Structure 1
């Protein structure tokens, strides 16, 4: 049986995680970036100066397979109890329970940091991610139509939330 584990992001993990992210940039509508991100931009997106907001590496049998993070939803103080969850997995590792394990892990971390609500904003085309979040108790709370444009197509986003 495979073992799923989580550890805090280390700087040495960043290049591999950036490669996973850039796969989605170049081959899917999961990310709304239209060009690969550079190391400085990616590093800024996964390292936050406030210790409440963390990125964790997801490993399967000790091998790095993606990351999960809770980041600020908005910068205004009244939003401090709401975090935004992001998960990216190596494309070969989907359907193995890593995403659900990552959600459960990050919810426990978020509770320990006094978060009340977690949200995830997802491209409406990304049915596997939508399924993963709904399976874990998240409900749709917003649908924004045609707010992104990639590969000659307007894209919708949907937002899911869970009160933890």
Structure 2
């Protein structure tokens, strides 16, 4: 049974472990070096009732995390969030991402958000497909914007409006 629980400082070691697991694949993050709990503490603390963070649990085991982060500190973007979704390698391909985006469809408007954007590497076809399946439209293409060890990578921007 998949559940979403507000993330707390006690969840940071698992959040960081899941995040760090993705770094060597160069598919989900532009970070190139592992992060530490100390480095991610301020990031988690920046999430609040309007821009929340959750851990994703399956049968009471944390298998991922999900955030709706402030897109910008400028006031006109206060109803726009950037989504981040990271899953433990063992949880991928088991519909956890599908459950997460269904959860966001309900939660984004409940938190006063009207727009959610996702930044996804062009070569991450699984994530692009997942967001498209949930009605996120392709809003932008940034060619060769990231320099990864294997070469330059494109960034695709997807977005969805809620209630506007």
Q: TM-score, structure 2 length as denominator?
A: 0.93
Runs of 4+ in 1 over 6 A off after TM superposition: none
Unaligned runs of 5+ in 1: none
RMSD: 1.3
Shift of 1:102: 0.9
Instruction: State the alpha-carbon separation in 1 of the partners of residues 47 and 124 from structure 2.
Output: 30
1:107, CA displacement in angstroms? 2.8
| Counterpart Cα distance in 1 of 2:114 and 2:58 | 29
Structure-2 residue corresponding to 1:159: 157
Q: Per-residue CA shift, 1:112-147, capped at 9, x if unaligned? A: 121111110011111111111001111100000011
Question: Counterparts of 1:48 and 1:56 in 2: how far apart (Å)?
Answer: 13
Q: CA offsets per residue over residues 14-73 of structure 1, 9 Å max, x none?
A: 101101100111233311001111212222233315421111010111110000110011
Q: Secondary structure at the match of 2:156?
A: strand
Which 5+ residue runs of structure 2 have no aligned equivalent? none
Per-residue CA deviations over 1:75-123 (Å, capped at 9, x if unaligned) read 1000111111110000111111111111121232220121111110011
Distance in structure 2 (CA, Å) of the matches to 1:98 and 1:152: 29
User: 2:42 maps to what in 1?
Assistant: 44
Matched residue SS, 2:33: coil
Measure the CA separation in 2 of the matches of 1:44 and 1:124: 29
- Paired residues in the alignment total 162
Mapped contact 2:47–2:53 kept (Cα < 8 A): no
